[in-house]
Amino acid sequence: MADGQALDEVVTFTSDLIRIDTTNRGGGDCQERPAAEYAAEKLAGAGLEPVLLERTKGRTNVVARIEGTDPSADALLLHGHLDVVPAEARDWSVHPFSGEIRDGVVWGRGAVDMKNMDAMILAVVRNWAREGVRPRRDIVVAFTADEEASAEDGSGFLADQHPGLFEGCTEGVSESGAFTFHDGAGRQLYPIAAGERGTGWLKLTARGRAGHGSKVNKENAVTRLAAAVTRIGEHEWPLRLTPTVRAALTELAVLYGIEPDLTDVDTLLEKLGPAAKLVEATVRNSANPTMLDAGYKLNVIPGEAVGYVDGRYLPGGEDEFRTTLDLLTGPDVEWEFHHREVALQAPVDSPTYAAMRAAVEEFAPEGHVVPYCMSGGTDAKQFSRLGITGYGFAPLKLPEGFDYQALFHGVDERVPVEALHFGVRVLDRFLRSA
């Protein structure tokens, strides 16, 4: 059981890590090294031998291994990223990099995404060192750079260039799961992620005939791009149910006393009420236009226009995604992947999933654990190259009205101290039994 020092440390570590500004604006504009050195120091204090690794100067990753008692057991990867998305201080109630602790809440960028989980990992590992605890299976701890951009300097670099550090790892655990979801009717759900949609960020290029803005031009690149973007934005993607989403819908339906009719999913989602939010974004592929770039003078028709689309596809849905984009863009617009990563799926009947469920239920017996698929992505995509199956499990017990999901990349990101305490206890229980 996590001791009192672990409960104090998880709060201190969360606050300290928030104060280390690791803003990732993309394009290499980030320095994770100070946070990596902080994490490495705490791991070394627990008797481990952390390794610091960089592909690019200042973009630092930390990896350490905890030896288990059963050498024949598969190893488990426990990972969290150190970078955060940008935050505008003028929009916040407190400075986003203050790490302020006020009224039992830790404030700042990274409080839920995901320096809280980084702090939980450090607190549990140090608690084990004090108690002389060794897990059954080897646990590889990794703190990564660059998750909020391409992951090329982080998990991608580690998976491609240092696979030996993850020898024996068959499963991984990281962010976005086991948080309290209040359904508005008194139920507390704890979704554990067992899948992720794939990432298909697209660049669209329309070419045409440049000319004077006052002349008729049937080969206007801007018009061609705008038409393609409109078709993409208005497209209604067909329903596609993956095993993880089927399991989520079935368990939710049983919980709510509803017939789990998977032949009419839209009606089923309506009956689930607020709980449908856990599923509705992952029953289809999606493609949302996000950026446009065309022209250089108002009275000049440019010869080229460019747009960008945030596409996501379900496990097994990439071929359909590609074929549909070919049709929607048409003959006058080319598209390519600006960034692509695979979709993931993990079994919900595995011993590891059962151990996560049991750990949550021990400390939140009033809660209901359900599987879900993440609509976005995590470093689990890159680690899957090593054959590592990824789960989302960063436990937090949250009060009603605390919109956890809205705080991801949002203003006034924060996490209750009690939620961190719960997280340490649950993570400790899971890792001892995994």
Average pLDDT of the segment spanning 348-375: 97
Q: Can you tell me the distance from the alpha carbon of 92 to that of 110, in angstroms, rounded to the nearest whole number?
A: 14
* Residues 84 and 133 grouped into a single domain: yes
How much is the pLDDT for 408? Answer: 87
The residue out of 312, 341, 370 marking a domain boundary is: 341
Which of the following is catalytic: 32, 118, 147, 175?
147
In a domain, 359, yes or no: no
In a domain, 391, yes or no: yes
In a domain, 362, yes or no: no
Average pLDDT of the segment spanning 236-260: 96
* Residues 234 and 321 grouped into a single domain: yes
The CA-atom distances, in angstroms, between 347 and each of 80, 137, 212, 255, 356 are 21, 19, 59, 20, 13
* Residues 144 and 258 grouped into a single domain: no
How much is the pLDDT for 241? Answer: 96
How much is the pLDDT for 190? Answer: 98
Q: What pTM, to 2 d.p., does this model score? A: 0.94
Q: Over 90: is that where the pLDDT of 327 sits?
A: yes
- Model confidence at 1, pLDDT cuts 50, 70, 90, reads confident
Kindly state the DSSP code that residue 176 receives in the 8-state scheme. S
Total domains present in the chain: 2
Neighbours of 426 (CB within 10 A): 28
In a domain, 356, yes or no: no
* Helix H or strand E encompassing 5: helix 4-19
* Residues 290 and 383 grouped into a single domain: no
Indicate if 83 belongs to the active site.
yes
How much is the pLDDT for 347? Answer: 98
Residue 28: which residues within 8 A CB-CB, separation 6 or more? Answer: 56, 59, 153
* Residues 43 and 81 grouped into a single domain: yes
Average pLDDT of the segment spanning 362-384: 96
Q: Which two tokens stand for residue 304?
A: 């080229």
Q: Over 90: is that where the pLDDT of 430 sits?
A: yes
Kindly state the DSSP code that residue 295 receives in the 8-state scheme. -
* Residues 243 and 385 grouped into a single domain: no
The residue out of 326, 341, 356 marking a domain boundary is: 341
Q: Which candidate, 189, 195, 199, 223, places its Cα nearest to that of 209?
A: 223
* Residues 160 and 39 grouped into a single domain: yes
Dmax over Cα atoms in the chain, in whole Å? 80
* Residues 134 and 12 grouped into a single domain: yes
Task: Quick: pLDDT tens for 164-205.
Answer: 999 999 999 999 999 999 999 999 999 999 999 999 999 999
How much is the pLDDT for 3? Answer: 86
Task: Quick: pLDDT tens for 39-63.
Answer: 999 999 999 999 999 999 999 999 9
* List of E strands, 160-303: 169-174, 181-182, 188-196, 198-207, 211-212, 286-294, 300-301
In a domain, 410, yes or no: yes
How much is the pLDDT for 27? Answer: 87
Average pLDDT of the segment spanning 219-240: 98
How much is the pLDDT for 71? Answer: 94
In a domain, 369, yes or no: no
In a domain, 428, yes or no: yes
* Residues 17 and 160 grouped into a single domain: yes
The CA-atom distances, in angstroms, between 86 and each of 83, 89, 339, 425 are 10, 10, 20, 30
Which of the following is catalytic: 83, 153, 175, 428?
83
- Model confidence at 277, pLDDT cuts 50, 70, 90, reads very high
Q: What is the DSSP string of 421-434?
A: HHHHHHHHHHHHH-
- Model confidence at 235, pLDDT cuts 50, 70, 90, reads very high
- Model confidence at 376, pLDDT cuts 50, 70, 90, reads confident
The CA-atom distances, in angstroms, between 302 and each of 14, 189, 207, 222, 326 are 50, 52, 9, 7, 23
| CATH code (residue 171) | 3.40.630.10
* Residues 98 and 206 grouped into a single domain: no
Q: Over 90: is that where the pLDDT of 20 sits?
A: yes
Indicate if 413 belongs to the active site.
no
Tell whether the torsion through CA atoms of 5, 8, 14 and 19 is positive or negative: negative
* Residues 82 and 27 grouped into a single domain: yes
How much is the pLDDT for 242? Answer: 97
Give the CA angle between residues 12, 405, 143 to the nearest 5°.
45
* Residues 166 and 217 grouped into a single domain: no
How much is the pLDDT for 179? Answer: 97
Task: Quick: pLDDT tens for 99-130.
Answer: 999 999 999 999 999 999 999 999 999 999 99
Residue 15: which residues within 8 A CB-CB, separation 6 or more? Answer: 99, 100, 101, 106, 108
| CATH code (residue 239) | 3.30.70.360
What are φ and ψ of residue 103, in 5° steps?
50, 40
How much is the pLDDT for 2? Answer: 84
How much is the pLDDT for 301? Answer: 97
In a domain, 193, yes or no: no
Q: Can you tell me the distance from the alpha carbon of 424 to that of 5, in angstroms, rounded to the nearest whole number?
A: 11
Task: Supply the range of the domain harboring residue 282.
Answer: 199-341
The residue out of 320, 341, 362 marking a domain boundary is: 341
The CA-atom distances, in angstroms, between 107 and each of 74, 110, 123, 422 are 37, 9, 19, 17
Q: Can you tell me the distance from the alpha carbon of 310 to that of 287, in angstroms, rounded to the nearest whole number?
A: 6
Q: Over 90: is that where the pLDDT of 290 sits?
A: yes
